[in-house]
A and B are shown apart, each in its own frame.
Chain A
Amino acid sequence: MDQVYVRPERCMGCRSCEIACAVQHSRSKTLFGAIREEPLPQKRIFVEAAEKIRMAVFCRHCDDAPCLAACITGCLYRDEKGFVRRKIERCIGCWSCIMACPFGVIIRDRRKRTAVKCDRCHELDVPACVAACPTRALVLVDVDALPKEKRRQVVLREAEGA
């Protein structure tokens, strides 16, 4: 499966990923259309800055996804590609997924009272955030193709924020 990884040392905090994400999840799917939409489309990726680090934080479509286990309505499910997605008509806005997500990347659609999360742009080959990143801080990695040791390093590097 292709996974999105972040290389924090390359992130300039330009928020191109956030904009691309919101546009991709807008009705018009263009920047000029999106900014005029009412309500504004919501992003599902968040550039966060802390003292020693700046990075985009986003859904990992975890193997053992806590949001999926917490969903009490059958809204969240894992699709055939392995992405954790929503059957939006089932969401009642109980926010159990927000409680469960350790990355804090599930948010509310306040108008519809439903949970909003990354769908990995399942209809695109390359997710909008990755395509938009000018410094390749966000990269798409086929984790299955990586040798185990390399995979471990990628994960470790990310966890250490190095």
Chain B
Amino acid sequence: MGVVVIGSGIAAVAAVQAMRANRYEGEVTLVTNDEPPFYYRPMLPSLIDGSKTMEEILLTVDPVADFGAELVKGTVQGVNCAAKTVILSSGDVLGYEKLLVASGSSPSFPQIKGLDAEGVFTLRTMKDALGLCSYLQRTDVSKAVVIGAGLVGVRTAEALRRRGLAVTLVERLPTILYPVVDQVGAAIVASRLQKAGLEVIVGARAEQVLCSDGKVAGLRLASGEIPAEVVVVATGVRPNVGFLEGSGVDCRRGILVNPYLQTSQPDIYAAGDVVEYLGLLEDEPIVSPLWTTAVATGKVAGTNIAGGKMRCEEFLPVMSAAEIGGLPVIAAGLVAMEGNGYEVFERREGENYRKLVFKGDTLAGVLFVGEVEGAGVYVSLLKAQKRVGGLKRQIAARRLTYAQLVGSSGDD
């Protein structure tokens, strides 16, 4: 009995840590089909270019050794809310007093033919990364196509390029990295990628993965064919909620939760990529498949499972930092938003680009490309939805410092 957690990602780990920090001393069982169970998922591209080894990206905390959790390897197939049990595909059944669903998300695929060819990969799990690496070791692989120019696609494409492959990045939308960066930012970053030797094709729909002898031979676009021996699909993720169908746990895209991260079943909580929750800047609930969200929701869910009463902060659709083509990028909120009651301040000097989007008196979007120092001050203002009133022009004109915020408190 005790607490059962589905998943072993960072949301699950943060939750277990919070349970123990809040003096829950009962049993905690993590069920996972990830192997190895605990690692830094965002570091997977570092395996592709060989800059890190598998050992180097294993998680630095061990929920089993550090928090006395038990680990069960297996795939959850269903949840019986009435009996309070979790059913594994092996047929095993685990009873729970409280259940945390932290099952994360999985790659979603475009509706195209040829995805079953040998040489088509995604990059979500350690298994995916190791599979891709061993495929690349075959000498006849020299050209790769990455479908989808989101953060994962771009970072994967760069890693493949650093490994020495000829890489084409294909994006359906007119700009890369939407909605993390706007058009201007995308152009700056794309030109860096091109300088690094990547081919970037935007506004192009992948039509079919070409095969010969069951193996990838290329990708067909409306505009022509790109020869390649490897295709990596990076067209976004979808919450893993399939096993909850018919369980009585309400889902839309993700699992719907209240501010304490309880689902429609009071003994069942959810955390991480799998959650759909109130957006800070939207009127609708949204998913927020981000590391920071997974850590934050894990902590809230774990605290509440342990008997606490902690509220979850509202979700942001974008909250990202990365170095792309050697250029730092930090983005939060609705960066690519224009018009419609949004007030935009932009400043660009060469590759340094800064954009602030205000809605009324509050920040709704922050984008820094190049010089990113101090971006966190703006991001924290956005997260707090603090009214900046008289400070708005100052904030937009120069670098906002923490001292300015302290100096202006109480007289805006």
Binding site for B on A (CB under 8 A): 8, 46, 48-55, 57, 66, 69-70, 72-74, 77, 87, 90, 92-96, 98-108, 113, 158-161
A92 and B57 CA atoms in complex are apart in Å by 11
Contacts of A57 on B, CB cut-off 8 Å? Answer: 401-403
B403 in complex: contacting residue of A55, A98, A102, CB < 8 Å:
A55
Q: Which of chain B's residues has its CB closest to A77's CB?
A: B60
- A54 and B403: CB pair below 8 A? yes
Q: How many A-B residue pairs have CB under 8 A?
A: 126
Contacts of B42 on A, CB cut-off 8 Å? Answer: 72-73, 94
A-B residue pairs in contact (CB < 8 Å), sample of 26: A48-B401, A48-B403, A49-B403, A50-B404, A50-B406, A51-B404, A51-B407, A52-B408, A53-B404, A53-B406, A55-B406, A69-B292, A70-B292, A70-B295, A70-B321, A92-B52, A93-B323, A94-B322, A95-B322, A99-B372, A100-B379, A102-B380, A104-B375, A105-B402, A108-B372, A113-B323
A105 and B401 CA atoms in complex are apart in Å by 10
- Known contacts A94-B42, A104-B377; decide if A99 and B332 are in contact (CB<8 Å): yes
- A99 and B321: CB pair below 8 A? yes
Binding site for A on B (CB under 8 A): 40, 42-43, 46, 51-52, 56-57, 59-60, 291-292, 295-296, 299, 319-323, 328-330, 332, 372-377, 379-380, 400-404, 406-410
Nearest chain B CB to A91's CB is how many angstroms away?
A: 11
- A92 and B292: CB pair below 8 A? no
- B292 and A100: CB pair below 8 A? yes
- B401 and A73: CB pair below 8 A? no
Nearest chain A CB to B218's CB is how many angstroms away?
A: 32
Given A95-B328, A160-B410, 17 extra CB contacts under 8 A: A48-B403, A50-B401, A50-B403, A50-B406, A54-B403, A57-B401, A69-B292, A69-B299, A73-B40, A73-B43, A92-B46, A96-B321, A99-B319, A99-B330, A99-B376, A104-B400, A159-B409
Query: Which 3 residue pairs across A and B have the least CB separation, nearest first?
Result: A102-B380, A53-B407, A48-B403
- B376 and A103: CB pair below 8 A? yes
- B408 and A50: CB pair below 8 A? yes
Nearest chain B CB to A73's CB is how many angstroms away?
A: 6
A104 and B377 CA atoms in complex are apart in Å by 5
Contacts of B377 on A, CB cut-off 8 Å? Answer: 101-104
A66 and B375 CA atoms in complex are apart in Å by 13
- B407 and A50: CB pair below 8 A? yes
Q: Which of chain B's residues has its CB closest to A49's CB?
A: B403
Nearest chain B CB to A56's CB is how many angstroms away?
A: 9
- B321 and A104: CB pair below 8 A? no
- A96 and B291: CB pair below 8 A? yes
- B373 and A98: CB pair below 8 A? yes
Contacts of A94 on B, CB cut-off 8 Å? Answer: 42, 321-323
- A103 and B328: CB pair below 8 A? no
B291 in complex: contacting residue of A70, A103, A107, CB < 8 Å:
A70
The binding surface of chain A is classed by DSSP as: mixed
Nearest chain A CB to B158's CB is how many angstroms away?
A: 12
A55 and B407 CA atoms in complex are apart in Å by 10
Contacts of A74 on B, CB cut-off 8 Å? Answer: 40, 59-60
- The residue in B59, B319, B373 that gathers the most chain A C-beta atoms within 10 A of its C-beta is B373
- A51 and B43: CB pair below 8 A? no
A43 and B401 CA atoms in complex are apart in Å by 16
Contacts of A161 on B, CB cut-off 8 Å? Answer: 406-407, 409
Nearest chain B CB to A52's CB is how many angstroms away?
A: 5
Contacts of B374 on A, CB cut-off 8 Å? Answer: 104
Q: Which of chain B's residues has its CB closest to A57's CB?
A: B402
Nearest chain B CB to A36's CB is how many angstroms away?
A: 25
A102 and B375 CA atoms in complex are apart in Å by 8
B372 in complex: contacting residue of A48, A77, A95, A102, CB < 8 Å:
A95
Nearest chain B CB to A105's CB is how many angstroms away?
A: 8
- Known contacts A72-B291, A95-B372, A113-B323; decide if A159 and B406 are in contact (CB<8 Å): yes
Nearest chain B CB to A111's CB is how many angstroms away?
A: 12
- A98 and B330: CB pair below 8 A? yes
- The residue in A69, A93, A105, A159 that gathers the most chain B C-beta atoms within 10 A of its C-beta is A69
Nearest chain B CB to A155's CB is how many angstroms away?
A: 12
Contacts of B319 on A, CB cut-off 8 Å? Answer: 99
A50 and B56 CA atoms in complex are apart in Å by 43
Contacts of A52 on B, CB cut-off 8 Å? Answer: 407-408
Contacts of A105 on B, CB cut-off 8 Å? Answer: 402
Nearest chain A CB to B340's CB is how many angstroms away?
A: 26
Contacts of A54 on B, CB cut-off 8 Å? Answer: 403
A152 and B410 CA atoms in complex are apart in Å by 18
- B402 and A100: CB pair below 8 A? no
- B402 and A104: CB pair below 8 A? yes
Nearest chain A CB to B123's CB is how many angstroms away?
A: 15
- Known contacts A57-B402, A101-B376, A113-B323; decide if A95 and B43 are in contact (CB<8 Å): no
Contacts of B296 on A, CB cut-off 8 Å? Answer: 69
Contacts of A93 on B, CB cut-off 8 Å? Answer: 323, 328
- A107 and B407: CB pair below 8 A? no
Q: Which of chain B's residues has its CB closest to A74's CB?
A: B60
Contacts of A102 on B, CB cut-off 8 Å? Answer: 376-377, 379-380, 402
Contacts of B323 on A, CB cut-off 8 Å? Answer: 93-95, 113
